[in-house]
Structure 1
């Protein structure tokens, strides 16, 4: 029918006419053969700006440069999404925090059919970074979109190791408790920041801390971090 044809044409123009799928790191074999120290530097330059879009992680990076670089190298990756692609569904085990780089995402709460529009720069599913979690909604790409994923299991494992290396993990744990209280409270959306003053929570958690000089070298930092194992970020959470 003419109506269906118009819908197909509109979908094509919105998602395929401008460009093909962007090249991802795994598509370039040469990058996989670079020395580890070079790949770590590339990952830091690519992902650090997105990591710093989260106020608490931006503050953490200013206190623990090696920690933030390790997160970029070990726990972060980019993903291209086509329109209609599901990033997660209700009941799934939460594996990543999603940072929207470009495009439009729709979040459908468990008990609602009207989507919440996710804005560029927003973080979805942050709870997974701080505790084991199952999604209570559905996240769908409304248009062709680019996202950055922070792997929750690797993130928690890195920070557990980072405590031994003197990273500023304590204020992150403090922030995590405050954030979970808001996100999982009666007024929170659990997986979205809507109504949560993340900057205020960050200021409260990091207030006792002052910037310390960065002493460790990147090569020294990276060597023991390849074998990551799961561990809870917030003490006492399961």
Structure 2
């Protein structure tokens, strides 16, 4: 009791510094927080804490042992019982706290199961309270006959646990069509029984409806998957597929479905369309910025042109999922998309049909693919296949170019310089460039030269910088170590200059 009282007492000053949501914004100003708390939960908390401290002091008086036989002590005992009952008001606040905790749970299955558990506990609590009240009515001295005397005293039953379970049994039967041997013996008990039955008719039907609805939601979580499996069984039966082949297919599908847990994409949440533009772009920035700004170009661009970057988040991105064994793209296909890998591992294969040596590299989360599509007319130099379930952010090249073109000449100067440096650097050595090229040292240098260096924007100066500093940086790197650590697959190539038509 002491620990609970101290905990809830300390919770009051803590609530003066806990922020709250106000019209879609988290309010963290202390003055506003204090004003909101005083107008909402503070009176309630003071009431409950006052009861806690009253009960604590009362328990000390009881332990003192003085004047236990007086009328004052009897009245004090009744007051204590009433205060303990009033203290149950804390469940009102606990309900809002539980709802906040539920909002933090990501698993839909867990939310549904916790909701069902909450309903069952609430039913048990109500049944317990009614059972205690029923027993209390049966012990009133004003009635000559009562159910306690008939079922316990006259039969010599003195076990307290048996009395409680009998009362609990009667309480449960009022919510169900079941019956038992306990019946009212006087007018007060009969009236209580009628009121409890009317209350049970309303509340218990609501509880059953809520639990049934929750069970249906639980069943619907896997409805689409079960329907597909049922259709597959029918397909096997109609085509008389051999048992051995069916077993291998079932095992492969079960493994794939167990691993392929697709992330929730923004387009799956229709309610997000109701958000105002500013709040929606702020959400998109929180989700996508850590992914895109891992690339030095977008890191510099975001720091200088935040509103333009938000337009990229809004209009140029889409989320893509790829199952095990599925292909992202194939050799020779035209590319209009740059990809950022969020999760999973991919195998990048070059078969040597374009003059390159056949090779295979692994690409994992944190890498990007097909950056050349942003700056040149690009055709894929290999094939990408998912070895695990993978998630991507796909950057639409045409939409990104629209955003780049909306800024003024001075605003987009860094992007133009980066594109020139990129184009001229790989025009000199096209054999280096592949779909998965992502040499971070060189990209950092390119971005620094484009956004940070103060040099003229004419072509000769641009070529000189690219041919000097970047080429020197390239010579200083161990190419085979880059291939090993970055998975870039930079083998020799006979790419023609037509592959580098600038965008």
Q: What range describes the TM-score normalised by the shorter chain of this pair?
A: 0.7 to 0.9
Cα distance in structure 1, aligned partners of 2:390 and 2:264: 14
Name which of 362, 372, 394 aligns with 1:127: 372
Deviations 1:108-157 (A, max 9, x none): 22525532111321111001112332222222212101111111010011
Partner of 1:138: 383
Q: Retained in 2: the 8 A contact 1:31–1:39?
A: yes
Partner of 1:161: 406
Q: TM-score, normalised by structure 2?
A: 0.38
Q: 1:56, CA displacement in angstroms?
A: 1.3
Q: Retained in 1: the 8 A contact 2:351–2:359?
A: no
Name which of 15, 21, 24 aligns with 2:265: 24
Q: Retained in 2: the 8 A contact 1:96–1:125?
A: yes
Q: 1:65, CA displacement in angstroms?
A: 1.0
- 1:120–1:11 CA distance, 2 compared to 1 (3 A): farther
Cα distance in structure 1, aligned partners of 2:417 and 2:257: 44
- 1:194–1:128 CA distance, 2 compared to 1 (3 A): closer
Q: 1:179, CA displacement in angstroms?
A: 2.3
Q: Which has the higher contact order (CA 8 A, sep 6+)?
A: 1
Q: 1:18, CA displacement in angstroms?
A: 4.9
Name which of 367, 373, 397 aligns with 1:152: 397
Q: Does 1:180 align with 2:423?
A: yes
Q: 1:2, CA displacement in angstroms?
A: 8.4
Q: 1:174, CA displacement in angstroms?
A: 1.4
For 1:163, what is the secondary structure of its paired residue?
Answer: coil
Cα distance in structure 2, aligned partners of 1:19 and 1:68: 31
Cα distance in structure 2, aligned partners of 1:69 and 1:180: 26
Q: Retained in 2: the 8 A contact 1:98–1:125?
A: yes
Deviations 1:38-65 (A, max 9, x none): 3222211111111101011101111111
Cα distance in structure 2, aligned partners of 1:95 and 1:10: 33
For 2:267, what is the secondary structure of its paired residue?
Answer: helix
Cα distance in structure 2, aligned partners of 1:90 and 1:101: 23
Cα distance in structure 2, aligned partners of 1:60 and 1:3: 54
Instruction: Could you list the structure 1 runs, at least 4 aligned residues long, displaced by more than 6 angstroms after superposition.
Output: 1-8
Partner of 2:414: 171
Deviations 1:83-114 (A, max 9, x none): 11211112222121011111001222252553
Partner of 1:190: 434
Cα distance in structure 1, aligned partners of 2:251 and 2:296: 40
Unaligned runs of 5+ in 1: 210-235
Cα distance in structure 2, aligned partners of 1:190 and 1:182: 14
Q: Retained in 1: the 8 A contact 2:338–2:394?
A: yes
RMSD across aligned C-alpha pairs, in angstroms? Answer: 2.8
Unaligned runs of 5+ in 2: 1-242, 455-500
For 1:147, what is the secondary structure of its paired residue?
Answer: strand
Q: 1:33, CA displacement in angstroms?
A: 3.2
Q: TM-score, normalised by structure 1?
A: 0.76
- 1:192–1:18 CA distance, 2 compared to 1 (3 A): closer
- 1:191–1:178 CA distance, 2 compared to 1 (3 A): farther
Cα distance in structure 2, aligned partners of 1:170 and 1:191: 26
Cα distance in structure 2, aligned partners of 1:208 and 1:195: 20
For 1:179, what is the secondary structure of its paired residue?
Answer: helix
Cα distance in structure 2, aligned partners of 1:136 and 1:19: 27
Cα distance in structure 2, aligned partners of 1:160 and 1:110: 37
Partner of 2:232: none
Q: 1:193, CA displacement in angstroms?
A: 2.3
Cα distance in structure 1, aligned partners of 2:251 and 2:425: 43
Which is richer in helix?
Answer: 2
Q: Retained in 2: the 8 A contact 1:101–1:145?
A: yes
